[in-house]
Amino acid sequence: MEAAAAAGEVAAAGIWRRRAGVAGAAIGVVAAGAAAGVALERLTVGRGVRRKARLALDASAPYGALRGTPGTASADDGTVLHYETEDPDGPAGASRAGRPTVVFSHGYCLSQDSWHFQRSALRGLVRGVYWDQRSHGRSGRGAGPVSIDRLGRDLKAVIDAAAPEGPLVLVGHSMGGMTVMALVDQYPELVRDRVAGVAFVGTSSGRLAELTYGLPTVPAQAVRRVLPGVLRALGTRAELVERGRRATADLFAGLVKRYSFGSRDVDPVVARFAERMIEATPIDVVADFYPAFAEHDKADALAVLAEAGVPVLALAGERDVVTPRSHTEAIAALLPDAELVLVPDGGHLVMLEHPEAVTARLRELLVRAGALAPDAAGAATGSG
């Protein structure tokens, strides 16, 4: 969800100011901190040097290159959904038969590659399914209005294609967690019959219209009021916006860092990796998805998990300003038996920022759910 704020803020940063008008001025408040840092950097580092630095980071980054066995699922509206499977290997593979398949759902403006560290740590240990949500990553562009319920049906289509039988562990980050809630809400029988564990990472069960993006109340209200309209306008000028993204690459990078991470010393290669994923999402996709979040309300669906006794991990970064920790605490409050974990200095992309902490907690959930043997759990680390 950080890309929605970033897109609106970049619009207010100058290149589309005439089009954004008063709306752009309001959203510009959000960009002020990042813009100040970029301005300081420009006093000491030339644009060519900064561009070369980004290219060097792209060339050296080992992240996002993990690939599994590809497959496709067809959504109920015909959209082609791309997924990849990772199967257990080694001599112990046969003994892993019957253990749950772990299905990872990524967040808004990201892709399956956002699970890079967890995927690396769990390779060969569990059967994993990693998929790209519609209009993201390698999946096809969806037509018509987007809703969280539709995303839940998309997840069901992926499960039907990639893991039609056997127990499941569902892992979702941000929009991916909402997707899992929509699946639970629409297919409660699937939860009762097959779901052995759920992990919600930096997500929310609703009330997203109250988000402040880390701003004081009045500017936050202005941003919430004008951002949907600004995004719609920008979505109709996609080519212009993409040129603007390139022209304001430094500001965009600062905004991504501000809204993705909670610590100051995040690895520059990781930060650039996140930036590449977000900037790969077309602005019209950003605009198409954003209204769905204000409508999202799946608090009641969590009762299905409680009634089924499904082990749940609710994890968030303490400094997440996109879906604040209070939203994860609210999920845990509705699931009294859930494990609540708040990662110090963690932002919205906590699984990239603090991979060891996230993977360790996820590993514990997988052991409880029967997807990972206790004696093999120690082999799963967050680095890679």
The string of DSSP codes covering 282-334 is: -HHHHHHHHHHHHH-B-TTTHHHHHHHT--EEEEEETT-SSS-HHHHHHHHHH
For residue 77, the tally of other CB atoms under 10 A from its CB is: 12
The alpha helices in the chain, defined as continuous H runs, are: 2-12, 17-44, 47-60, 116-122, 148-162, 175-186, 188-194, 217-235, 238-247, 249-260, 268-279, 283-295, 302-308, 325-334, 350-353, 355-369, 374-377
What is the percent of the chain with per-residue pLDDT over 90, rounded to a whole number?
56
- Per-residue pLDDT, averaged over 317-328, amounts to 96
Burial class (CB in 10 A: 0-12, 13-18, 19+), 299: middle
Cα separation, 134 vs 322, whole angstroms = 21
- Residue 382: pLDDT band with limits 50, 70, 90: low
Cβ count near 123 (within 10 Å) = 17
State residue 62's pLDDT score: 78
pLDDT tier at 215, thresholds 50, 70, 90: low
Q: What is the pLDDT of residue 264?
A: 85
The structure's pTM equals 0.82
Confidence band, pLDDT 50/70/90 cuts, at residue 223: low
Give the pLDDT score at 75: 98
pLDDT at 1 over 70: no
- Compute, in degrees rounded to 10, the torsion defined by CA atoms 181, 134, 381, 340: -20
- Give pLDDT, residue 228: 64
Model pLDDT, residue 233: 61
Task: Look at 112-121, 159-168, 251-260, 271-280 and tell me which has the smallest mean pLDDT.
Answer: 251-260
> Closest by alpha carbon to 199, among 310, 344, 84, 68?
310
pLDDT at 16 over 80: no
Cβ neighbours for 213, distance < 8 A, ≥ 6 positions apart: 5, 30, 220, 223, 259, 321, 322
Contact present, 93 and 330 (Cβ < 8 Å): no
Instruction: Indicate if the pLDDT at residue 304 is higher than 90.
Output: yes
Q: Are 271 and 25 in contact (CB under 8 A)?
A: no
67-82 residue pLDDT tens: 999 999 999 999 999 9
pLDDT score recorded for residue 91:
44
Q: Is the pLDDT of residue 133 over 70?
A: yes
- pLDDT given for residue 31 in this prediction: 38
What pLDDT, on the 0 to 100 scale, is given for residue 93? 41
Output Rg (C-alpha) for the chain, integer angstroms: 20
The span from the CA of 363 to the CA of 369, in Å, is: 10
> Edge-to-edge strands of the sheet including 80-86?
69-74, 80-86, 127-131, 101-105, 168-173, 195-201, 312-317, 339-343
pLDDT of residue 46: 44
**pLDDT score recorded for residue 42:** 41
Provide the mean pLDDT of the chain. Answer: 81
CB atoms within 10 A of CB 252: 25
Please give the residue that has the higher pLDDT: either 207 or 343.
343
With 80 as the cut, is the pLDDT of residue 29 above it? no
Q: What is the mean pLDDT of residues 119-134?
A: 96
Q: How confident is the model at residue 89 (pLDDT cuts 50, 70, 90)?
A: confident
